[in-house]
Amino acid sequence: MCGDEPELKCPNCGARVDARSPSDSPFFPFCSQRCRLLDLGKWLDEEHRIEGPFEPGRQDTSEQG
Residues 10-35: what's their mean pLDDT? 87
Give the pLDDT score at 65. Answer: 43
Q: Which residues, 6+ apart, have CB-to-CB distance to 48 below 8 Å?
A: 39, 42
Write down the CATH number for the domain with range 8-44.
Answer: 3.30.50.10
Buried b (16+ CB within 10 A) or exposed e, 12-38: beeeebeeeeeeeeeebbbbbeebbee
Largest CA distance in the chain: 41
Identify the three-state secondary structure at position 37: helix
% pLDDT > 70, the chain: 80
Residues 36-52: what's their mean pLDDT? 90
Give the pLDDT score at 2. Answer: 53
| Residues constituting the chain | 65
Give the pLDDT score at 5. Answer: 65
The ranges assigned to domains in the chain are 8-44
pTM, full prediction: 0.63
